[in-house]
Each structure stands twice: as C-alpha cells, then as structure tokens.
Amino acid sequence: MTNKNFRLTPLNACLLLCSFSVPSWAATINTTQTANNTQNNDAVQFNPLKVSTEGGGSESENNETQNSIYSTPAAVSYVSGKDIQEKRNGDINSVLRAIPGTFTRVSSSQPGIEVNIRGFEADGRVNTMIDGVPQTFRNSAGHASTGGELIYVDPNLLSGVSVERGSINGAAGMGALAGAVNFHTLDFDDVVLSGQNAGIRTLTKYGNNGSGFSGMLSGGAKTQLDSGAEADVVGGFSYSNYHNYRRGGKDGEMNVPNASNSPKSGLLKFHVKADDANDFKLGARWYNNGFLTSGYYWEMKNSTYTFNYAFTPDNDLVDFKFNSYYNVSKMSYDPTIGGSYTKRETEATTIGFDLANTSRFSFDNTYWFTWNYGGAYSHDHYAVNEYRGANPPGKMDKARAFTDLTVGLGMFDLTGAVNYDYWKLSGHRGPCEPGIGFCPPTGGDVDVSNRSQAVNPKVTLAANPVDWLQPYVSYGQTSRPPSAREALWALAPIGAGTGGGQYANLDLKPETSKGWELGTNVLKNDLFFSNDVLRLKVNYYNYDIKDFIYNASVAVPGEQYKKLLWVNSPGTTNSRGTEIQGTYDARVAYINLAYTHAKNDQPVGWGTGIGVGDISFLPDDTATIDIGVRLFDEDLTLGTAMDYVSGNTQASGFGKTERKESYRLYSVYGSYKINKHASTFFNIENLTNESYSPAMSGDAEEKSGRGRTFVVGLTTQF
C-alpha cells in the first residue's frame, strides 16, 4: 500500500461509501487504530498494535512489535517465542503469570492452559485463541477442576503470545468480558534464515526433575511460480516426554497426582502471494496428549484449521482481510481408570469467520482518519455422551458488527468505536415436572433456546505532547452471554444420566461491564546512551460488572432441600487495579519490570473451589523483575529473574474462602550464540528450591510447586 495520504474528494467519498460492501477481517488482536499525524520523521511514531497471527521471527520484527506495545493506548502485552523458551523454559503458565493483569488457574498434572485476566476466567469471559481461532473446550471433572475453557498448545511451536485486557474493538472482543489472549504459531520467517529460500530449524531440550526430553523439527521452502506468484510452505513437529517432578522444599516429595505426559503436536502452512494485492494462506495445527488429572486419565486431541485472505491494493481506502476457521477438540477418559464417569467422551467444535476493512484518508491535510469496520461470526457446539456429569451439552452462536474511527488532529488522536453483539444459546432441557424449580408450565424434555443482543461502545483519547510520551484515557463496555454450562445446568448426575431439567436457568441475564482506563506510554530512544531505549506502560482500570453469573445454594420451589444453581448476582461487582510494565535496554545490560495490583469483589459461589465455578481471585500484588547482561558482542546473555506473588484469597468450597501465603521464586538463565546457525541456552527454575502453593491452584495443589529444575537446550537453523 502506498504511504501517500488520501485526499477526500467527491469521487473518493463515493468510493469510500461503496467500500462498505467490501468484506474484511482482522485476524489480530488490534487495539485502537491511531492515526499517524506527526511530521517529524526522527521522532518515535505512536502506531497501533499489529501482531500477525503467524508471528514473525527476526529480532528486528520482535523489537518492532515491542515498540508497538508501548505506543498503543490500551492495556496490551507481548512475549516472544525466544523469551518463552530461554527465560521461562517453555512454561506457558509461568509466561502468562509474568504479564501484568494476566494469570492462570493451574493444576500440576493438567497441561491445558486456563487463562485469567483481571480476575475473570471461564465461560467465554476471556477469548483464548490460537492464531486468531477461539478455543472453547471445557470439562468439569471432579473437585480439582473449574469447568473453564482449556487451551492445548505446544510451546515449542510458538513464535509468541499477545494479550489485550479490557474492552476490545473488533472480532477478538466478541462475547468477551475481560480481554483476549492469542497464541501465535511458527511461520516461514520463524523457521528459515533471512535471505534463504529453504531451511530447517530445530529445538532440543533436556532437563532434570521431570523436565525430560523435548524436541522440535521444522522446515520451510519458498519458490516463484510460472505465473509470477510467490509460494512458500512451512511444517513442524514437536514431541516431549515429561515425567513426574519433585516438589520444592527440603523433603522434596514427588508430586501427587503424577504429572507425566508426552504431547505430540505439529503444524503445516501454505502461503501464496499471487501479486502485490492478493495474499492467500492455508494452515493446520494439531495437538495430541494423554495425562492423569482430577482422578481420570484424559486422551486429548485438538485440531485447528484456517484459511486467510488479504486484499491490499495500492489504495488507502482498501485494506481488506478475511479469515475462516474450524477447530475441534476431542477428549475421552480411559475406561480402566477413574470412577463414575470413566466412559465420558466429549467433542467441542467451533466454526467461524471474521472480516474487516481499514480505510485511511485525510481532509485538507489537517484531519487524519483511520476507519476500521467489519463483522465476525462463530458457532460453538459442545457435545458429550450420557456420562456428562456437570457438563451439559449445548450450542452457542455469536455475531458481531463493528466499526471504529480514529481522528487525528495535531497532538491528539480520538477513537470512537461501536460493537454490536448478538448471541443465541440452544440446547435441551431434561425431563422435569411443571412448577418444580425453573421447569416451565409445559414441562421438560424439550429443546430450548435463548438469545440477546447488546451495543458495546468504546472511546479512547490519546495525546502526543512530545515524541516520546503518550497519555491516554478510555471508556468501554463489554458483555458476555450465559454459557451452556450455566444456563443448561442439570446438576451432576452420578454415572450415566442427563440430570434434571428443573435446574436449567434460561432466564440468566448476560454479564455487562462498564468502566474506565487511564494510562501512559513512554517510548524513548537514546535516553542515556546511543542505541539505548526506555519503554514504559502504566495503566489504571476500574470496571463495574452487573449480573455477574455465579453458582449459589438456592431454595428450589417444590423441593425440600437447597440446590446448587447458576444465578445472576444482585448489585454490582467491581474490578480495579494498576498495571505496570517496562524495560530499559542499554544493549550491554537490561532490566524488565512487570507489576500488578488488583482488587475484585466478585461473589463466592457455593461450589467455587470444589469443581464448580472458577477460582478467580487474583493475588493482591504480583511483580516480576528480570535483569541481565549481554557480553562478547552480545553473543552471550546472562540473566536472573524474581517472581513475587503476594498472599491471596482462594475459594475453598461451600461459599468459604481462605488466605494463601505469599512466595518468591528466583531463576537464572543464559544463552550463547555459537554462530548464525546455532545457539545454546540454559535455565534454572526455582533456584532456592522454595516450597510453595501456586496461587489459584486449589486445595488439592497444596505445596505442589515444582522444586529446583535445570534445563539445557540447543537451537539450530540451516
């Protein structure tokens, strides 16, 4: 696309209006579109965050992404695949917990990731994606689970992970209450060395204390077709053999349950650039694993398929993107291990598409406009056999139409956005007698549905008083529909059974959130020395949530005893906090900081903490400090990190809570670039062998933190 700005003439105005008929898609977590209205080419430019769904592997691209984080007027974060491996040993839970405002619910033997943003998780409150594809698998399983969405992804195949907190414009915010997380998998540029048409990349790791062996092999090639089009293909396969580990502390007991698992995963992507304007991508990703958790042995399979198309002609009015996807997650229990539900089989499928177009134009060389508009749709189907327990089946259709317009005038950028959301939940109400509980006068054993809609606006005002400073303020609204797990609840029948239709609450209202964010970005080059950089993002948020859905012990009309049902909480739930992330990098040395102070007053469900509902009480304070040096022309990197988690509240079941103790974890890491084809690295986790209970892990995970663990690795590219 040309860099020239488009002048608004009558002809072009007509073209702009006609462009409404052109569908488009935004596959990335896109924050507020900020107009580039400064004329100082030497200044730091404040641009919108654009993290491609396929990542991008070079150091310059990663630096560009980091700069975009600290020049985006929203609460956004990004971690590269290199840091995931070398600083966090591929531990995705550890990676997310070191991001401000972001946490995870952990189980020591569960490789699935359950993401929490600002104290909210499960039932669609956080849109968790792989390459822009929502992951909706869930399984309530015993008292050691929450029933929230679990994402299964191999860290060896990741190029990075991006997080956006709060109200989100566009496709990524559809139906999400608190934010979105996107895991980006390897692309051609991550695998093949720059300047080469073909190549391979390998990763090999080995460690003690259960880390075992982990390896990845990937390769890619590109060519020019007779038609003049460019085509490339990339594929990769990863295998790991993790064993059970010894917990921290002097005694160092082996973890219970056994945390052994051996994930196998892969990807295959095709890319054709037909000409300067047309770009096509086709991709497949898969993950297989088996593990023992919550008293059952899970066989887990996940497959994700995508098709992307981009149309970017030499016209500032058209920047069109389309994405379609299909995702299926299948889980079955080993029938020889476990209790009443050993024959359970589930399948969660998601099919959908997103489209959007971005138009850029100016008026009288004074006002600069960036206009993004489009739509999104997804259909989720959760199926489970008669051994469903606390997992009612159901279908969810979501749709969103969105538009946001950024106007740049002088030092100010004003963005106004409107997101129209529609959803429909459908399923089956089990047998019930009229007048009992929520059973309607016509009785049960019938198909049911519920639908609703909402308009969720967002307004952001950002200022650029100097070339390195950007304060901003935003107001946003979000909403989340009741899930099938909540609205079609039928208690938890033991063994085979569908439960009671009188407990399905189809009158649940959607959760709605309204609130403010106030923040500042700092991005300053050459602060003290040539080529050093200071990046800083400080953000305060305060949201009120109405009709928060939780489980409560409720008197049921027509029944003698209270029952555990899903209801809307009366009044307002408040979520507020401060998030700080920053880095100072002088090349020879660097320091990175992440800090969160969070307060939530959401109600405590009767079954929260014992397998029903989420354990979503964030620690009051979390902090990560990462300090390192680069030596020998930056070929050698040595660093150390400290993770602090304050005392925190944890649900213990039956509407009760308890306080958990704080802890500090230290790690050291290092890497050495042997040459352009090979580098080696090491990581020591929990250096002091601390005995601790990970926050948000439940009573069953008391003192389950991993003890001191040493890992060495080698990466190659040829």
Within-domain flag for 294: yes
- Tokens 């990190």 correspond to 641
How many folded domains does the chain comprise?
1
| Residues spanned by the domain of 401 | 10-717
- Which residue(s) pair with 454 in the sheet? 421
CB atoms within 10 A of CB 223: 11
Within-domain flag for 2: no
Element (H, E) at 194: none
pLDDT of residue 52: 39
Peptide bond just before 257 cis, omega within 30 deg: yes
Over the chain (718 residues), the average pLDDT of each successive run of 10 is 38 36 34 37 39 47 84 96 96 97 92 94 94 94 75 97 96 96 97 96 98 97 92 98 95 92 98 96 98 92 98 96 98 89 95 97 89 98 93 96 96 97 96 92 93 97 96 98 94 87 94 97 95 97 96 88 91 96 97 96 76 70 98 97 91 75 96 97 98 83 91 97
DSSP-derived secondary structure letter, 2: -
- Distance in angstroms between the alpha carbons of the first and the last residue of the chain: 33
CA torsion, ordered 98, 104, 109, 110, to nearest 10 deg: -130
CB contact at 8 A, 153 and 213: no
Closest CA to 247 of 718, 678, 715, 694: 694
DSSP-derived secondary structure letter, 692: -
pLDDT of residue 144: 60
CB contact at 8 A, 234 and 186: yes
| pTM of structure | 0.91
SS3 assignment, position 139: coil
Cα gap 398→171, rounded to integer Å: 11
Alpha-helical regions (H) of 424-557: 484-487
Q: Which token pair is 683? A: 């990581």
Within-domain flag for 1: no
Cα gap 355→324, rounded to integer Å: 9
Within-domain flag for 5: no
CA torsion, ordered 220, 224, 229, 234, to nearest 10 deg: -10
Q: Domain with 96 in it: what CATH number?
A: 2.40.170.20
pLDDT of residue 251: 85
Within-domain flag for 42: yes
Within-domain flag for 152: yes
Within-domain flag for 3: no
Within-domain flag for 680: yes
pLDDT of residue 267: 98
Write the CB contacts of 97 (distance below 8 Å, at least 6 apart in sequence): 103, 104, 622, 643, 645
